[in-house]
Amino acid sequence: MKIILAGQGPFGEKVLERLQQNREELQAVFCPPGRSGEPIKNLAEGAGLPLFQPNHMKDPEVLETFRRLSPDLVILAFVTDILPEELLDVPSQGTICYHPSLLPRHRGASSINWAIIQGEARTGLSILWADKGIDTGPILLQKEVDIHPEDTTGSLYFQKLFPLGVDAMLEAVDLIKKGQAPRVLQDESQASYEPPCDDRAAGIDWSRPGRVVYNLIRGCDPQPGAYSFCCGQKIRFYAPRLLAEGAQRPAGEILDVRGEGVQVALQDGALLLGKMRSPETRKMDASELAREHRLQAGMRFGS
């Protein structure tokens, strides 16, 4: 079965590596130029595979190359471009895509973030047949994982959804080769779509219940970093820990600055922040940043 792989980042690199180990018939590799494509580029060049680095997958030369190669299957391993329908029509077996949620829940680019922000206890991944919509194609297979109460977007992805997703991609290829790959239509009545998790969603509202604030911080960790303001500084929060009890102080007030972090009051408890970052600093231990910016107990974070 002739395969084209398109991807980027560590996930795309790992999928490519596993396809090579399985001795799959790889016709070509597509990845973006620049840093995000570097891991796949290096691996493909080292293996002597034909490599293409278009600025966008909708560029005319991509369609020309796909038609010339006439692949059986295209694998999208962490592709952020929306592929034009003409491209999806080229491979005889179709195009499969990895998405880190249990579709049709959490369609969109920030599915891991929103599952945590919304306080869910389980999520997963889907391998789907790509179509012209955004994460709307039929499901080939799905895998579920627990969201631990202390998981961040980073830990959930790298420790669970990344390795399981690589395995699922290879399982999907095997099912396709055997002619056993299902195409289960998504239930549109259960669909949800969230926008990208950026600063429009990452600002902290200290009037919300403590668990909501906590979920926002861990859902925005490592990117974009949930934020609040103190002394005119925009401070981003990481590595939070929810404390069962806290002093009866206004939500957002700094309760203590100690070696293990910065303790902040919530509506119904307290929060210990392990890491912080400001526009002038790198991400660092929260207590260290507090000292640099002279943040002290009694000061208050706000909008």
Q: What is the pLDDT of residues 260-302, one digit of tens each?
A: 999 999 999 999 999 999 998 899 999 999 999 999 999 999 9
The pLDDT assigned to 247 comes to: 67
Total residues found in the chain within this entry = 303
Q: Is the pLDDT of residue 65 over 90?
A: yes
The pLDDT assigned to 236 comes to: 98
Residue listed under structure tokens 């691996």: 43
CA distance 249 to 110: 34
The pLDDT assigned to 274 comes to: 98
Confidence band of 80 (pLDDT split at 50, 70, 90): confident
> Mean pLDDT across the stretch 221-228?
98
The pLDDT assigned to 231 comes to: 87
Average pLDDT value over all residues in the chain: 96
Q: Is the pLDDT of residue 82 over 90?
A: no
Q: Is the pLDDT of residue 183 over 70?
A: yes
- What residue type is 233 in one-letter code? Q
Percentage of the residues of the chain whose pLDDT score is greater than 70: 99
Tell me the domains of the chain and their CATH numbers. 2-190 (3.40.50.170), 199-292 (3.10.25.10)
> Mean pLDDT across the stretch 62-68?
97
The pLDDT assigned to 39 comes to: 94
> Mean pLDDT across the stretch 199-213?
97
CA distance 114 to 116: 5
CA distance 119 to 121: 7
Q: Is the pLDDT of residue 94 over 70?
A: yes
Q: What is the pLDDT of residues 3-61, one digit of tens each?
A: 999 999 999 999 999 999 999 999 999 999 999 999 999 999 999 999 999 999 999 99
CA distance 5 to 219: 30
The pLDDT assigned to 244 comes to: 78
Question: Exposed, middle or buried, 66 (CB in 10 Å: 0-12/13-18/19+)?
Answer: buried
Q: What is the pLDDT of residues 158-173, one digit of tens each?
A: 999 999 999 999 999 9
Element (H, E) at 242: strand 233-243
Structural tokens at position 136: 């709307």
Q: Is the pLDDT of residue 216 over 70?
A: yes
> Mean pLDDT across the stretch 138-145?
98
* Contact between 153 and 221 (Cβ < 8 Å): yes
CA distance 93 to 273: 49
Structural tokens at position 66: 């796909």
Confidence band of 246 (pLDDT split at 50, 70, 90): low
Q: Which residue has the higher pLDDT, 247 or 121?
A: 121
* Contact between 29 and 2 (Cβ < 8 Å): no
> Mean pLDDT across the stretch 61-72?
97
Pair type for strands 122-129 and 94-99: antiparallel
Question: Exposed, middle or buried, 23 (CB in 10 Å: 0-12/13-18/19+)?
Answer: exposed
